[in-house]
Chain A
Amino acid sequence: MVERMIEKKTSDRPGRILHRDISLAFFRIGMLGFGGGPSSIPLVHKEVVKKYEWMTEDEFGDTLALANTLPGPIATKMAGYIGYRVAGVWGCLNALFASVFPTVLLMIVFLGLLQTYKDIPWVQHMSASVVPVVAVMLGVLTWDFIKKSGETLGWLRAIMMLVVSGVLIEALNIHPAIVILGCILIVFLPLLKRRKKV
Chain B
Amino acid sequence: MIYWHIFLAFFIPGILGYGGGPASIPLVEHEVVGKYEWMTTQEFSEVVAIGNSLPGPIATKMAGYIGYTEAGILGSIVALFASVAPSLILMIFMMAILMKYKDEPEVKNLTMLIRPVIAILLLFMTIQFAQESVEGIGIGYTLLLMAVSYILLEKIKLHPAIVIALALLFGALTG
Name A158's closest neighbour in chain B (CB-CB). Answer: B116
Q: A81 CA to B164 CA in the complex, in Å?
A: 33
Which residues of B8-67 are within 8 A (CB) of A?
Answer: 12, 14-27, 30, 42, 45-62, 64-65
- Contacts of B101 on A, CB cut-off 8 Å? 191
Interface size on B, residues (CB 8 A): 103
Q: Does A72 have its Cβ within 8 Å of any Cβ on chain B?
A: yes
Q: In the complex, what's the smallest C-beta–C-beta distance from A128 to chain B, in angstroms?
A: 4
Asked if B65 and A62 make an inter-chain contact with CB atoms under 8 angstroms apart, the answer reads: no
Alpha-carbon separation in the docked complex, A77 to B124 (Å): 28
Q: Please name all residues of chain A whose beta carbon is closer than 8 Å to the beta carbon of B59 when the two chains form the complex.
A: 36-37, 72-73, 76
* Chain B residues with CB under 8 A of A81: 88, 91-92, 95
Pick the residue among B91, B92, B133, B172 that contacts A132 (CB under 8 A).
Answer: B133
Complex interface bits, B51-87 against A, C-beta within 8 A gives 1, otherwise 0: 1111111111110110011000000100010011011
Q: B24 — nearest CB in chain A belongs to which residue?
A: A73
Q: Are B171 and A127 in contact (CB under 8 A)?
A: yes
Q: Which residues of B contact A84 (CB under 8 A)?
A: 92
* Complex: chain A residue closest to B130, CB-CB: A135
Complex contact B91–A80 (CB within 8 A): yes
How many chain A residues touch the partner (CB < 8 A)?
A: 88
CB distance from A76 to the nearest CB of B (A): 5
Contacts of A40 in B (CB 8 A): 56-57
CA distance in complex: A150, B168 (Å): 35
Interface residues in B122-169 (C-beta closer than 8 Å to A): 122-126, 129-130, 132-133, 136-137, 141-142, 145-146, 149-150, 153-154, 159-161, 163-164, 167-168
Q: Is the CB of A176 within 8 A of B149?
A: no
Say what secondary structure dominates the interface of chain B: helix
Determine, out of A10-18, A50-58, A162-170, the stretch whose residues face the partner at the interface. Answer: A162-170
Min Cβ gap B15→A in Å is: 5
Interface pair B129/A135, CB less than 8 Å apart: yes
Total inter-chain residue pairs, C-beta < 8 Å: 344
The distance from the CB of A176 to the nearest CB of chain B, in whole angstroms, is: 6
Given known pairs A74-B21, A127-B42, A176-B26, the reply for A142 and B130 (CB within 8 Å) is: no
- A102 at interface by CB-CB < 8 Å: yes
Which residues of A in the span 169-198 have a Cβ within 8 Å of any Cβ on B? 169-170, 175-177, 179-181, 183-184, 186-188, 190-191
Taking a contact as CB atoms under 8 Å apart, the answer to whether A131 and B132 are in contact is: yes
Which single member of A140, A153, A190, A191 contacts B113 (CB below 8 Å)? A153
| Complexed CA–CA distance, A77 and B61 (Å) | 15
A121 to B136, CA, bound (A): 12
* Contact call B115/A100, Cβ cutoff below 8 A: no
What's the Cα separation between A162 and B117 when bound, in Å? Answer: 6
| 16 A-B contact pairs sorted by A residue (CB < 8 Å) | A34-B160, A36-B58, A66-B95, A73-B58, A77-B88, A100-B57, A104-B80, A111-B50, A125-B171, A129-B141, A131-B45, A145-B118, A146-B123, A162-B120, A177-B27, A186-B113
Q: Which residues of B contact A (CB under 8 A)?
A: 12, 14-27, 30, 42, 45-62, 64-65, 68-69, 76, 80, 83-84, 86-88, 90-92, 94-95, 98-99, 101-102, 104, 106-126, 129-130, 132-133, 136-137, 141-142, 145-146, 149-150, 153-154, 159-161, 163-164, 167-168, 170-172, 174-175
